[in-house]
Amino acid sequence: MITSIVDKHDSKFQRLFEIMPGLLTWTFMLSPIWLGLLYPEAAVYLLIFLAIYWVYLSAKFTLGLFLGYKKYTNEIAIDWLKACKELDFSTLPDKPTLPDSLDDTHHLLLIPAVNESKEILKGPIDAFLSQTYPLERIILCYSVEEKYYDMVKENILDLLGDNIKRFEKVLIEKHPAGIPGEAIGSGAGNRTWGAKKAKEYLEANNKPIKNYILTHFDADHVPHEQFLSRLAHLYLKTDRRNNHFYATSVHLFNNNHWEVPAMMRFEANFVTMGTLANRSIPWGIEPLTKDTFASYSSSFQTLIDADYFDVSVGVDDSVFFWRAFFVRDGDFKGASHYIPYSADAVLGTSYWNSYVSLYKQLLRWGWGVVVVPIAFKGFLTNKKVPLTTKLIWTIKHLKMRVIMVNISFLITFGFGILTLANPNVRLTTFNYSLPDIISIILSFALVFIIPGTIIRQKITTPMPKDWPVYKKLFAMLEGPLAIINLLTYSFVPFIEAQTRMLLGKKMKDLYHTPKVRANS
């Protein structure tokens, strides 16, 4: 009954769920005003709760960092190709999806490209050539935007040289511009085009789809030499392997880490530390609500079953997760490993252009809120997804899209807004001391910046030796930039994205972050 109603009124439900995140966000953000007028005591307790919750999150974040770093150091020391060779295939789970042997276990690397220079492409290609996993079992599939196809293809072929023969196959496909229904600047369209061409190649050459592990890399991603060997080991040992995606918990930005302005570097570290911590927490909803981000892998069959990506939306990473989630009736989870890859931190053509470029990239990330209508409509129509799974993911959406986006703003400015809305709040003794209470709580939370700084230094590339002492000292003390970041880049673009969707203004032209190097 519900399914038929949703199908009949699809556009109305779509609009309802588009409105919901932005409406909840603005309601929560303005709570010191409306709650301060209606029930000021509740507003006070809300602000205190948020401050205490922030300390809890900081403590949990720090524990996650320690656990994640330990797993990282343990995994990086293992010879994963040797571990793969020691696997007994007769004991591995899920025989229908299992390749017959390690020799039959292949990697398909899908790499969309736009206009990347030879300098950008060189790092990844060198990394592919350096993989411990046998290259004759690796297919590289570059899908290049039509406008720059000739230039990028020439760069790829020049960088590969005679090494092109060492791979099972190198495909360099041209993604045509202006395909009807594709969002402009859509990475999803480019990835879908490349994936379909790869499928055509495998079928034309009678190569079994089930033998291929698909990994999505961006054109600047530089995987550690053990990345594909570790991935193969994890994939082969995972039960119901078609019902999982596989991703590292260590997303680094070492390609140009020390070349970018401080705020760009901090934002990159924020992603690195946040992913490492959140994917290493053993309790709560985090282990149950991992979704795809940046580079990730799955069986190639899973991508085909999910009908590739939604090219009309254009947000490929998180939207793919939900397509696979529903095609697997909610039985689709993340499996993590700790062998890293490295990407480019945002760098513009000038100092100020770097800040503009970062904002546009984060606005595109914020547009990932489009998965909310996809998820909630799917929850209503797919009766095979367990109710508990739907509830857990609903909590995750509310936490991530509403609470986490606004918590720093409310902790910082909430009491000031509250007293402006209702000056009588200041008259009580308890409320008079509230700013001091919150200040003490947040000062305590600053202690947790120290462990993050130490671990960050251990997994990122060392600072340039020729830097002056003052510059090195400043880089070591970048932790307090968290306060500025949380009130700017981790706040404003996400609010803008949700507000755009609330008002029905689509982001039809998605921003492709240019890859720039300081010496280019």
353 within some domain: no
Check residue 270 and give its pLDDT.
86
Check residue 409 and give its pLDDT.
92
Grade residue 190 by pLDDT with cuts at 50, 70 and 90.
Answer: very high
416 within some domain: yes
**Read out DSSP for 389-419?**
HHHHHHHHHHIIIIIHHHHHHHHHHHHHHHH
| Position 130, amino acid | S
Residue 169 vs residues 164, 232, 274: alpha-carbon distances, Å: 8, 18, 36
16 within some domain: yes
The pTM of this model reads 0.92
Residues forming a β-bridge with 337 = 248
Check residue 433 and give its pLDDT.
62
Tell me if residue 162 falls in helix, strand or coil. helix
Residue pair 108/133 in contact (Cβ under 8 Å)? The answer is no
Of 250-264, 387-401, 470-484, minimum mean pLDDT range? 470-484
Grade residue 269 by pLDDT with cuts at 50, 70 and 90.
Answer: confident
- For residue 347, which of 152, 116, 513, 123 has the smallest C-alpha distance? 513
485 within some domain: yes
Residues forming a β-bridge with 426 = none
Task: Using the predicted structure, report yes or no on whether residue 508 has a pLDDT greater than 80.
Answer: no
Q: Domains in the chain: how many in total?
A: 1
* Residues of the chain above pLDDT 90, percent: 60
Cα angle: 300, vertex 301, 306; to 5 degrees: 100
Grade residue 255 by pLDDT with cuts at 50, 70 and 90.
Answer: very high
| For range 251-268, the mean pLDDT | 89
135 within some domain: no
Q: Where is pLDDT greater, at 323 or 187?
A: 323
Check residue 328 and give its pLDDT.
97
Q: What pLDDT, in 10s, does the model give residues 6-38?
A: 778 788 999 999 999 999 999 999 999 999 999
Task: Using the predicted structure, report yes or no on whether residue 510 has a pLDDT greater than 70.
Answer: no
**Read out DSSP for 234-291?**
HHHHSTTGGGEEEEES-EE-TTSTTTS-HHHHHHHHHHHHHHHHHTT--STTGGG---
Grade residue 397 by pLDDT with cuts at 50, 70 and 90.
Answer: very high
Q: What pLDDT, in 10s, does the model give residues 303-350?
A: 999 999 988 876 777 889 999 999 999 999 999 999 999 999 988 888
Q: Which domain holds residue 421?
A: 2-62+386-502
Cite the DSSP H helix spans in 130-206: 149-160, 187-204
Where are any strands of DSSP class E within 328-393? 333-337, 341-342
Check residue 485 and give its pLDDT.
81
Radius of gyration of the chain (CA): 24
Tell me if residue 20 falls in helix, strand or coil. helix
3-state DSSP percent of the chain in helix, strand and coil, to 5: 60, 10, 30
Check residue 261 and give its pLDDT.
87
Grade residue 302 by pLDDT with cuts at 50, 70 and 90.
Answer: very high
Task: Using the predicted structure, report yes or no on whether residue 194 has a pLDDT greater than 60.
Answer: yes
Of 142-156, 168-182, 403-417, 480-494, minimum mean pLDDT range? 480-494
Q: What pLDDT, in 10s, does the model give residues 95-141?
A: 999 999 999 999 999 999 999 999 999 999 999 999 999 999 999 99
Q: What pLDDT, in 10s, does the model give residues 431-489?
A: 556 666 666 666 665 666 777 778 888 888 888 888 888 787 777 766 666 778 888 88
Average pLDDT, the chain: 90
Find tokens 């290049």 and name the residue. 144
Q: Where is pLDDT greater, at 291 or 441?
A: 291
| For range 69-89, the mean pLDDT | 97
